[in-house]
Structure 1
Amino acid sequence: MTALTASEMATLERAADTPMLAAVEAWAAVNSGTGNLAGLKTIAGMLADAFAVLPGTVRLVEPDPVESVDAAGQVQTIVRGDHLHVRVRPDAPVQLLLTGHMDTVFPADHPFQFLTWREPGVLNGPGTADMKGGIAVILAALTALEASPLAPRIGYDVMINSDEETGSHASAALIAELAKGKAAALTYEPALPDGTLAGARPGSGNFSVSIHGRSAHAGRNPEEGRNALIAAADLALRLNALKSPDLKVNPAKIDGGGPNNVVPDQAILRVNMRPATPAAMAAAEAALRDAMAAVAREHDVHCHLHGGFNRPPKPLDEPATRLFELVRDCGALLGIAIDWKATGGVCDGNNIAACGVPVVDTMGPRGGAIHSADEFLIVDSLPERARLSALTMLRLAERGTA
């Protein structure tokens, strides 16, 4: 890879000089748990104002409705927050997609609400790494890019959704729409503390199986009942037995039951399945349906399936590998060692890859302990990753492809 040009160095200096820490502190001070609609509205407005410094259009997109099965077995519609979409130069020859999420896993009543310094340069706070720090990196890199002579060659869509932490059900269609025609995508989940990126990812699906049996008196005529709770437990064991190197299965919860003297007539099994490959995903869904049919037959109950695989597996194919190698080479020019490894987690990078677009989905700052009250951001990695993103996009503009 060729050495840095004077123009590139000027762009990288602008990216690093952007006041990202102040933005992270302001954004992380707003609780934006996925279910906190008021907090999401506030942070969406703050982000819309911040991204208005870029040319192009800024809009808030209404979320798609999301269905969920409650503890009583009823399908309910859940409302999510608006998503942010920024579009710049849609007719430019090189089109990129940059994504992040404004929601966190911490609800409005969670005790983890405040920012503290664990030590100099390490900021503890909700969403600091996952991923308000990542959003700050996006904005810094793009602001610097706009002053580059190469800017006219690059068009981009930025999508910051409000429901990534719960599976992006309300934003999946928007992601798929914006991924069309893109040369590459960058997603700003945090890198590991040592800077390692996530490579291949499994898929993920969340399922709710409603089981309907028949109630009866537990002492007088239990044989006339059909115990839905036992059927759910049997199904959980059958699904757990499907585990293999290519499939992780987690039966997570059973809702149901009631008074001790009544045979329970309803139960709901919640299960997560994570297949490593598309073939494993298809086999897992078929095995799930076969297990449901066997339980229904052997327990004389009715089983109804809700949910599906919302995150397809993300293998490292050749185009994705080339993009990772580009990021690695850009890192080398900046004195940043870049490596990647497979992970068991999932994110919007899965959805983007399923659209046939190469994606690196851990372009955010270094941090750790995400999804816990120990979450932390390594502050020095904000300018580091802003420079890495800016250079990656400049080199994509020159190459025209990943």
Structure 2
Amino acid sequence: MSSIVNAFSNKDACAAALEQVSERQLEMVALVEAWSKINSGSRNLVGLDTMEAEIVKAFEPLGAEVAYIQLPDGEMVNAKGQVETMKNGRCIRIFKRPTANRKVLLTGHTDTVFAVDHPFQAPKYLDDITLNGPGVADMKGGIIVMLNALKAFEETPDAASVGWEVLLSPDEETGSLASGAILAERAKTADIGLTYEPALADGTLAGARKGSGNYTVVVQGKAAHAGREFHVGRNAVVALSQIVGELASLTGGRPELTVNPAVVQGGVAANVVPDMAWCRFNVRLKEPEDAIWFENKVQNIIDKANAVEGYSVMLHGGINRPPKALTPANLLLMEKIKLCGADLGIDVNYVPTGGCCEGNNLAAAGLPNVDTLGVRGGKIHSAEEFALIDSFSERAKLSALILMAFANGLLDDVVKAKAH
């Protein structure tokens, strides 16, 4: 029996519950294979509905309440440079004992980055322990880890002292633009947060995270024949090129800030002065105050371009995930989770990352959280995405022990630090 479990008032029941996680290993792997075959790309509302039903069915044995939150429509700039409305799916809330003194928020997402017409649609084994498939790591596998940790926890008398809430969003892969407000609202009701993005293949977890913003800049000029009336035209591609150069030059303007102009489109033919061009770009920033600096610089670039006769420039988008700074409460939580890992023979280490997830949103709302408690895996957002299948029971045990430790007061100092 582990030393942490030995300190619990219901140590035998907790030890038995942890042991039973291993017995569900094959069940977990079979479930992720089945879920991986369901396309639930962020814009595939039918697939997201199918995934939602499967998840709710899987969580039924926990005897929790279920609620749904329809997200508002979003906006995006289409290939014609026009702002259009995009439908979003809905969040799933699964919760139990909401009036308990100790509360934990477990978050994840039902969407993947793979559209209905993407060739990557089904799982396959690369070897005996490596499963390749859409969402096996990011994060259908993570939801299964979460589910089985809660199953183990609910098998113990300690569960009676903890209120837990699972919040699963359908738009994380597009930046949580519509669900961000829901994440912030629910974060304010909890004491700690656990999020189930995948760990690295070696088990390393994410610590501090950069913030991120996605933008589109659209330039409208004036079309003209490139030979007969070249000087009558207003070349939108040339104007956009200058803007892109100025945006790229902002990289390094603040420590570790990067700007990535990523997708560019404009023009119709070589003998036509192009009247429209657009660029999608991303910014990553380390400190919350960097957002103000960046937004001011970008607005100056747009204002200057708009002042040129014959051109109209539109900027769409913004900072959608603030940086995740490590507060004293967050550092304490990370240390407690490291101790839980050591107790199970799992070496838990943390590294800062430029990537973003719902952990950014929770931290911005003041909730200490660790956000890579899912399966060990890698190459996410590509057709080479994989999960290491032995990590399903391993990571479910880790989260179950975290919940048990929380119930037994071992994380109370985290809650006190959060309050200050």
* Class of the TM-score when normalised by the shorter of the 2 chains: over 0.9
Which residue, out of 383, 391, 401, partners 1:381? 391
Taking the aligned partners of 1:213 and 1:219, their CA distance within structure 2 comes to 17
Q: Residue 294 of structure 2 corresponds to which residue in structure 1?
A: 284
Taking the aligned partners of 2:405 and 2:304, their CA distance within structure 1 comes to 55
Q: CA deviation at 1:80?
A: 2.2
Taking the aligned partners of 2:256 and 2:290, their CA distance within structure 1 comes to 6
Unaligned runs of 5+ in 2: 415-420
4+ residue stretches of structure 1 with deviation over 6 A? none
Q: Which moved more, 1:3-12 or 1:346-355?
A: 3-12
Report if aligned partners of 1:48, 1:59 keep a CA contact under 8 Å in 2: no
Report if aligned partners of 1:43, 1:102 keep a CA contact under 8 Å in 2: yes
Q: CA deviation at 1:21?
A: 1.2
Q: Which moved more, 1:109-118 or 1:327-336?
A: 109-118
Q: CA deviation at 1:374?
A: 1.5
> Deviations for 1:60-94, whole angstroms, at most 9, x for unmatched residues?
32122111111222211111222221011110001
> Deviations for 1:1-30, whole angstroms, at most 9, x for unmatched residues?
953223331231233333311221121121
Report if aligned partners of 1:97, 1:156 keep a CA contact under 8 Å in 2: yes
Distance 1:401 1:135, change over 3 A: farther
Matched, 1:241 2:236: no
Amino acid corresponding to residue 142 of structure 1 in structure 2:
L
Q: CA deviation at 1:299?
A: 6.3
Q: Which moved more, 1:182-191 or 1:57-66?
A: 57-66
Q: CA deviation at 1:96?
A: 0.8
SS in 1 for 2:75: strand
Q: Which moved more, 1:24-33 or 1:13-22?
A: 13-22
Which residue, out of 11, 17, 31, partners 2:17? 11
Q: CA deviation at 1:294?
A: 2.1
Taking the aligned partners of 1:357 and 1:96, their CA distance within structure 2 comes to 10
Q: Residue 394 of structure 1 corresponds to which residue in structure 2?
A: 404
Please, what TM-score do these two structures have when normalized by structure 1?
A: 0.96
SS in 2 for 1:185: strand
Q: Residue 258 of structure 1 corresponds to which residue in structure 2?
A: 268
Amino acid corresponding to residue 4 of structure 1 in structure 2:
V
Q: CA deviation at 1:57?
A: 0.8
Amino acid corresponding to residue 262 of structure 1 in structure 2:
V
Distance 1:60 1:159, change over 3 A: same
Amino acid corresponding to residue 74 of structure 1 in structure 2:
Q
Matched, 1:269 2:279: yes
Taking the aligned partners of 2:23 and 2:171, their CA distance within structure 1 comes to 30
Q: CA deviation at 1:363?
A: 0.2
Q: Residue 322 of structure 1 corresponds to which residue in structure 2?
A: 332
Write out aligned runs for 1:2-401 (5 A).
3-5=4-6, 6=11, 7-18=13-24, 19-244=27-252, 245-298=255-308, 300-399=310-409, 400=412
Taking the aligned partners of 1:213 and 1:120, their CA distance within structure 2 comes to 57
Q: CA deviation at 1:224?
A: 2.8
SS in 2 for 1:294: helix
Taking the aligned partners of 1:164 and 1:114, their CA distance within structure 2 comes to 21
Aligned-pair RMSD on alpha carbons?
1.6
Q: Which moved more, 1:191-200 or 1:163-172?
A: 163-172
Report if aligned partners of 1:216, 1:262 keep a CA contact under 8 Å in 2: yes
Report if aligned partners of 1:113, 1:126 keep a CA contact under 8 Å in 2: yes
> Deviations for 1:246-271, whole angstroms, at most 9, x for unmatched residues?
21111012222123333222222211
SS in 2 for 1:330: helix
Percent identity over the alignment? 46
Q: CA deviation at 1:298?
A: 4.6
Q: CA deviation at 1:97?
A: 0.6
Amino acid corresponding to residue 394 of structure 1 in structure 2:
M
Please, what TM-score do these two structures have when normalized by structure 2?
A: 0.92
Amino acid corresponding to residue 267 of structure 2 in structure 1:
G
Amino acid corresponding to residue 16 of structure 1 in structure 2:
S
